[in-house]
Structure 1
Amino acid sequence: MPPELVDCHSLVPSESLSPPSISPSQQSYPSVSFRNSRGSKSMSFTRNKILPVLVLILSSLSILRLVRIALTTSYTSPLLAIALPPKLQRPLSGFSENHRTSANEAAISETEFKLLSNLIGEKAPCNLLFFGIEPQYLNLSAVNDGGKNVFLEDDPYKLSTFRVDSNHTRMYKIDYKFHAEKAYKLLKQARGNKSCAPDSGLRNSSKCKLALTDLPKEVYEVKWDVVVVDGPRGDSPHAPGRMATIYSAAIMAREGNTTDVVVHDTDRMIERWYSWEFLCDENLISSKGKLWIFRIRNEKNSSRFCPDKRIVVQR
C-alpha cells in the first residue's frame, strides 16, 4: 500500500493561510522596461504580454530541433553505397520486412572474414559450398579461383539481386520446411533415430526430417572441401531455421575425405545446439567472433556423430 499522506493544513494555524485583504486597485504586477536605441523612451510590458512571446520562441526552437533530428536520422551514409559493387547494392526501399534492412546487418565481421578467407586461400582451388548468400561470400568465391563455388539460397530477392560472372560459380533456389521454433522438437526426434545416423546419407534418409533430400543433384555428387552455413535467416522463431543445413553439412562432411564446416552466428542458441550435436566440439579447430570452423574427417560408416555423446543409434 502507498504511504499515508499527512494533512499539511492541520500543522499550520488557519489564520496564517488567509491571504491579506487587498483591494483590486491596490494589486500591482512587476513590469519590465526596455529603452530604445536612442534611450529617449521606455516601453513597459506586463507579464501577460511577455508570456505569449516566450511561448512562441520556445515553440519555434522545438520545431527546429525536431526538423534537425529528422534530417539526421534519415541520412544514409554514402560509405554504405560505395562499399559494394553496383550489382550488389540494394535499393533503400521497396523490399519486404522479411529482408534485412542493410547490407551490413548480416555481414560477417572483418576478423571473421579474414579467418574464412585464409582457410579458403589455403585450400584453393577447392569445392566450396555456401548455405546462404552475402556480398562477402561472393568475394570469397573469387579467392577460390579455379575451384567450384555453389550457393544455395531460399530468398528470391537475393537471388535476383546478386549476380556472378563466372563459369565456376552457380546459385540455386532451395526451400526449407521448418521454422526456428521447431529446433528442439526436431533435435529430440533425431536422437536415437536410425534414419538420422551419419551412415544414412542424405538422399537415402527420407525418414529423417532434418535431411535436405531435394537439393540440386550437383550438391550430392561433389565431395566438398569447405561448407559454409550462414543460411537460412534463422533470426526469429517464425523464420526458417538452420537445423537442417547444419545437420546436412555434417552428413556431407563425413562423406568426403576431410571437410571443413563453417558455421556463422554461433552466438545464437540453435547454431550452438546443432553444432555441438552434429559437428562435435572436439572437431572445432578455430573460431573468431561468431564464426566456428569444424574439421570433419571421413566417418561415413560411423553410427554416431560424436564419440562420447549426442546421437547414439541402437542396432
Structure 2
Amino acid sequence: MKNASRQFIVEKPLFLGALVTIAMTGVLLITSLSRTINTSSFTYMNTNNGGANSNPSTQTQFLAIIHYATSRDIPELTHPEIRSVFDVLINLAPCNFLVFGLGHDSFMWAALNPRGTTLFLEEDPTLVHKILARAPALRIHTVKYPTQLYEAEHLVTSYKSEKTCVPPNVHLKGNSMCKLALSELPDDVYNKEWDIILIDGPRGYYAEAPGRMGAIFSAAVMARTRKNRGVTHVFLHDADRKVEKMYADEFLCKKYLVKSVGRFLHFVIAPGANVTKTGRGSRYC
C-alpha cells in the first residue's frame, strides 16, 4: 500500500492450469486461515436467485480467488498479521469494516466480509482507477489528507490547545479547526459506526507524505464517539515506525492494546473511553 505505482501484473496460464490453480488456491487460502470456519459466514452461489452473478459479495470472493491465483503480486502483510484481522472478522462478519489504504490485499479484505460493508479510503486516484478496473464492486473513496509527515511532532504536542481536538467538543465532520481531524470525508464514512478499522495508509515514509496522523486520530475519535453497543477494533500496520508508534501511544493507548503481531497492533476501544485531564490539558490515554 505504500507505493502507489505498484502494478497488478496478471499471468495468462493455460485454461486447464488456471482452473486447477484457482481451485487449489481457494482451498488453501481458506484452510490456512482457519480449519474451523463456520461456512455460513461466507456467501455461496445461489442458483435459485440467478447464480453468483447476481450477488456482489460472491462476485468479490470469486474475483479475489482469481486475482491471487493468477497474480505475481501478493499482500505485503504476513500470514500471522492477516490472521489477526481475520480472527476478528470471522466473529463479527457481516460487519462494518473501514480500511485506510488500498493495495494487493484489498480484494481479500472485501471477500472476507461477505454481506458486510467494507469501505476503502485511498489518496492516490491512479491506484483507485486501476483497482476499480479489476474489481468494480469494491467500495472505494479517493480522499485528501490535510497533513504532511514532517508536521507529526508539532501536531501531537499542539492538538490539546484546540478544544475541538479533545472531548467533549471533538468531532470529525466539518471540524477544520482541528488539523488532525479528517473533516472532509464522504458522508457514508461519518454515517456508519465502524466495527473494525484497519490503518494501512496513507503513505508515511517520506517528509512530504500525508502520514497516518489523521487516520490514527480519526479512528480514535470514531471509536470513542460510537453510539451503538459494542467495541471498535482498530488495527495499525507499520507500528514499528516512529510516527505510527507515537500516535498510537497518544490516541489509541497502550491500555487498549490487546495483541501485537509483527508490525501489527490490535486495539479494542469502547465507546466513551476515558480522556485523562492533566495540567497541560486533556490526553486520550
Settle same-fold status: TM greater than 0.5.
Answer: yes
Pick aligned residue for 1:135 from 104, 109, 116: 104
Q: Does the aligned pair in 2 maintain the 1:130–1:228 contact within 8 Å?
A: yes
Q: Does the aligned pair in 1 maintain the 2:109–2:118 contact within 8 Å?
A: no
Superposed CA RMSD:
2.9
* Number of residue-to-residue matches in the alignment: 218
For residue 193 of structure 1, report the CA deviation from its aligned partner.
2.7
> For each residue in 1:18-68, what CA deviation from the matched residue of structure 2 results, as whole angstroms up to 9, or x when unmatched?
xxxxxxxxxxxxxxxxxxxxxxxxxxxxxxxxxxxxxxxxxxxxxxxxxxx
The 5 Å alignment of 1:142-181 reads: 142-163=111-132, 164-166=135-137, 169-181=138-150
1:122 aligns with 2:91: yes
For residue 87 of structure 1, report the CA deviation from its aligned partner.
6.3
Alpha carbons of structure 1 residues 149 and 177: separation in structure 2 relative to 1, 3 Å: same
> For each residue in 1:224-252, what CA deviation from the matched residue of structure 2 results, as whole angstroms up to 9, or x when unmatched?
10011111010111222000010001111
Match of residue 244 from structure 2 = 271
The 2-side partners of 1:308 and 1:147 are apart by 40
Partner AA of 2:257 in structure 1: L
Gaps of 5+ in 2: 1-8, 12-24, 26-63
The 1-side partners of 2:131 and 2:141 are apart by 12
Alpha carbons of structure 1 residues 143 and 85: separation in structure 2 relative to 1, 3 Å: closer
The 1-side partners of 2:147 and 2:185 are apart by 15
SS of residue matched to 1:162: helix
The 5 Å alignment of 1:104-115 reads: 107-115=76-84
The 2-side partners of 1:122 and 1:310 are apart by 40
Of stretches 219-228 and 174-183 in structure 1, the one that deviates more from structure 2 is 174-183
Match of residue 208 from structure 1 = 178
The 2-side partners of 1:216 and 1:130 are apart by 14
For residue 253 of structure 1, report the CA deviation from its aligned partner.
0.9
Of stretches 262-271 and 169-178 in structure 1, the one that deviates more from structure 2 is 169-178
Q: Does the aligned pair in 1 maintain the 2:89–2:112 contact within 8 Å?
A: yes
For residue 284 of structure 1, report the CA deviation from its aligned partner.
0.4
For residue 81 of structure 1, report the CA deviation from its aligned partner.
5.5
Partner AA of 1:252 in structure 2: M
For residue 310 of structure 1, report the CA deviation from its aligned partner.
9.0
The 2-side partners of 1:132 and 1:113 are apart by 15
The 5 Å alignment of 1:90-105 reads: 103=73
Alpha carbons of structure 1 residues 248 and 115: separation in structure 2 relative to 1, 3 Å: same
Match of residue 232 from structure 1 = 202
For residue 195 of structure 1, report the CA deviation from its aligned partner.
1.2
Of stretches 147-156 and 137-146 in structure 1, the one that deviates more from structure 2 is 137-146
For residue 142 of structure 1, report the CA deviation from its aligned partner.
0.9
1:281 aligns with 2:254: yes
The 1-side partners of 2:189 and 2:172 are apart by 11
| Larger radius of gyration between Structure 1 and Structure 2 | 1
What TM-score does the superposition give when structure 1 sets the normalisation length?
0.63
> For each residue in 1:67-105, what CA deviation from the matched residue of structure 2 results, as whole angstroms up to 9, or x when unmatched?
xxxxxxxxxxxxx8569877689x9xxxxxxxxxx955x
For residue 121 of structure 1, report the CA deviation from its aligned partner.
1.2
SS of residue matched to 1:111: helix
Gaps of 5+ in 1: 1-79, 92-101
> For each residue in 1:175-232, what CA deviation from the matched residue of structure 2 results, as whole angstroms up to 9, or x when unmatched?
1122111100111111343110143211253211100110000000101100111110
For residue 162 of structure 1, report the CA deviation from its aligned partner.
1.2
What TM-score does the superposition give when structure 2 sets the normalisation length?
0.69
The 5 Å alignment of 1:1-315 reads: 103=73, 107-163=76-132, 164-166=135-137, 169-199=138-168, 200-203=170-173, 205-256=175-226, 257=229, 258-299=231-272, 304=275, 312=282
Query: In percent, how many aligned pairs have the same letter?
Result: 33
Partner AA of 2:175 in structure 1: S
Alpha carbons of structure 1 residues 150 and 198: separation in structure 2 relative to 1, 3 Å: farther
Q: Does the aligned pair in 1 maintain the 2:121–2:141 contact within 8 Å?
A: yes
The 2-side partners of 1:282 and 1:308 are apart by 17
SS of residue matched to 1:172: strand
Partner AA of 1:187 in structure 2: V
